């Protein structure tokens, strides 16, 4: 325990400016939240823009602080000063986690308790929700920052790695534009991708702290990104896409009946053209929904259009992601339909 406290105090002495900036941002955030609750705006536009970007600044400040603290005792190479000290890697890792807990999570937790009191929410009953928020913060910000910091020797290489991950994400987005069906995937695939990235980050952290095997850690990162890319492309394959949306059967029929409502039409202003982007054109069809149970609602996850033309030609669109909800007439908002 003495070694852990020694490492913690050493990091605190070296990185107190970054900690002070993080505390200041949390304090400003807590001070600004009551203003946003009542919808007040700043007369100075620059100040308003700053407070709109405050959550992003907080995340960046926390990530930067974590990177600085981890790389203070670098895990890359074999000539680090800390290797000559009586440090055991579990104690070193625990000291870093203690620093993150006391300098990031604890101040944020205090600020959240203050906001709950200002909003007259019951603090005791809200503690579970607050702790869950910190668990999400730990999984989405702290662990990835720890993993990236542990495989790079300094801020420069870390920045290059972050830029590479951003380019990878943009590349996946560009791939979706060429494979439209890939944008339609079950929620389980998204959860699997997030879980895979989290596991890879934890493995990288353990490998780096225990053996400082940078090559193995980079291999884990590359393998995780490759599997994520495969999971993104997989729904675009017809064999797998049809499994996500099975055809209705007698034992599992459609929950409602859909038909074209010929009594309705969508009027357009004179000269108004169809909305389009590239080769995609947005069209609207009036649908009539029947036989939807009063105690249920229908969630549309995706839609696809099949056209049988009078000339005998057939045309099928790609799957288009959707998040629309259909409610029975008795539950739908607004006045009842006539």
Query: Residues 9-40: pLDDT tens digits?
Result: 999 999 999 999 999 999 999 988 888 777 77
Which pTM value belongs to this model?
0.76
One domain, residues 48 and 28: yes
pLDDT digits (tens, 9 = 90+) for 306-321: 888 788 888 877 777 6
One domain, residues 133 and 178: no
The domain boundary, picked from 131, 150, 169, lies at 150
One domain, residues 27 and 83: yes
What do you get for the CA distance between the two ends of the chain, in Å?
73
Helices (H), the chain: 2-14, 16-37, 45-52, 54-72, 89-100, 106-118, 123-137, 143-150, 155-178, 187-211, 214-233, 238-244
The closest of 1, 159, 207, 164 to 91, measured between CA atoms, is 1
One domain, residues 25 and 109: yes
Residue 333 inside a domain? The answer is no
DSSP character at residue 246: P
| Count of structural domains within the chain | 3
Residue 31 inside a domain? The answer is yes
How many angstroms separate the CA atoms of 246 and 241, rounded? 9
pLDDT digits (tens, 9 = 90+) for 45-72: 676 677 788 899 999 999 999 999 999 8
One domain, residues 193 and 239: yes
The domain boundary, picked from 150, 180, 203, lies at 150
One domain, residues 134 and 26: yes
Range of the domain at 295: 251-267+274-326
One domain, residues 62 and 121: yes
């Amino acid at each position: 325990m003495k070694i852990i406290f020694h490492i913690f105090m050493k990091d605190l002495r070296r990185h107190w400016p970054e900690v002070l900036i993080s505390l200041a941002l949390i304090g400003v955030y807590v001070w600004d939240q009551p203003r946003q609750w009542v919808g007040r705006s700043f007369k100075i536009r620059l100040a308003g823009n700053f407070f709109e970007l405050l959550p992003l600044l907080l995340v960046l400040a926390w990530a930067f602080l974590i990177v600085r603290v981890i790389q203070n005792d670098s895990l890359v190479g074999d000539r680090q000063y800390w290797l000559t000290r009586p440090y055991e890697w579990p104690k070193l890792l625990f000291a870093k986690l203690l620093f993150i807990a006391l300098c990031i999570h604890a101040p944020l937790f205090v600020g959240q308790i203050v906001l709950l009191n200002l909003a007259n929410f019951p603090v005791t009953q809200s503690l579970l929700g607050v702790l869950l928020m910190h668990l999400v913060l730990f999984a989405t910000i702290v662990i990835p920052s720890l993993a990236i910091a542990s495989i790079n020797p300094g801020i420069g290489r870390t920045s290059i790695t972050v830029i590479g991950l951003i380019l990878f994400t943009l590349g996946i987005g560009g791939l979706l534009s060429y494979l439209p069906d890939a944008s339609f995937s079950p929620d389980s695939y998204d959860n699997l991708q997030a879980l895979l990235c989290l596991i890879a980050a934890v493995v990288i952290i353990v490998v780096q702290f225990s053996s400082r095997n940078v090559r193995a850690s980079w291999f884990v990162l590359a393998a995780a990104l490759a599997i994520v890319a495969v999971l993104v492309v997989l729904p675009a394959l017809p064999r797998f896409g049809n499994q996500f949306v099975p055809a209705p059967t007698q034992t599992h029929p459609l929950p409602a009946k859909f038909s074209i409502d010929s009594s309705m039409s969508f009027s357009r202003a004179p000269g108004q053209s169809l909305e389009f982007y590239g080769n995609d054109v947005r069209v609207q069809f009036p649908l009539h929904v029947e036989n939807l149970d009063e105690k249920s609602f229908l969630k549309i996850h995706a839609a696809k259009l099949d056209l049988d033309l009078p000339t005998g030609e057939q045309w099928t669109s790609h799957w288009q992601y959707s998040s629309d909800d259909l409610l029975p007439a008795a539950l739908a908002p607004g006045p009842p339909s006539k």
